[in-house]
């Protein structure tokens, strides 16, 4: 059994045997230009760490990058990350200074 995860031009190939993995790589390489980057360590914002029992997946690095990009690295954590009593309205609040940054951060969280 083998699994191929494909996202745009990135591929993860996981197989239950090294021979199966190598044969799939040979077949794919005959049709597509490919590079084997070795064991998986980082993919689409997910850090992959190998353990005896399998793999550990973490998005801690990705979350820290988003926090840094939003200029919130020095902020203190809060048990409720949203103001439960909002003080904004569509008519009386000032516009967001950089809507592009806001949209980028919101998109990164999706």
**What is the token pair recorded at 9?**
């031009």
96-105 pLDDT, tens digit per residue, is 777 898 899 9
pTM of the predicted protein model: 0.62
Per-residue pLDDT tens over the stretch 12-40: 998 999 999 999 999 999 999 998 888 88
Give strand pairing partners of 58: 47
Residue 55 CA to residue 39 CA, distance in Å, equals: 11
88 pLDDT more than 80:
no
Phi, psi of 53, deg, nearest 5: -90, 0
Could you tell me the residue ranges of all domains in the chain?
1-38, 39-72+102-110
Q: How many CA atoms lie within 13 A of 8 on its CB side?
A: 2
Q: For 60-76, what is each residue's pLDDT tens digit?
A: 999 999 999 988 899 88
- Mean local confidence (pLDDT), 76-101: 77
State how far the Cα of 52 lies from the Cα of 67, in Å rounded to an integer: 32
């Amino acid at each position: 059994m083998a699994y191929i995860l494909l996202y745009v031009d990135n591929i993860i190939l996981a197989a239950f045997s090294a021979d199966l993995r190598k044969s799939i790589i040979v077949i794919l390489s005959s049709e597509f230009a490919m590079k084997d980057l070795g064991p998986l360590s980082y993919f689409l914002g997910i850090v992959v760490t190998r353990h005896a029992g399998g793999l550990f997946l973490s998005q801690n690095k990705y979350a820290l990058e988003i926090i840094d990009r939003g200029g919130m690295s020095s902020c203190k954590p809060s048990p409720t990350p949203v103001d439960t009593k909002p003080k904004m309205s569509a008519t009386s609040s000032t516009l967001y200074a950089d809507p592009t940054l806001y949209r980028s951060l919101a998109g990164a969280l999706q």
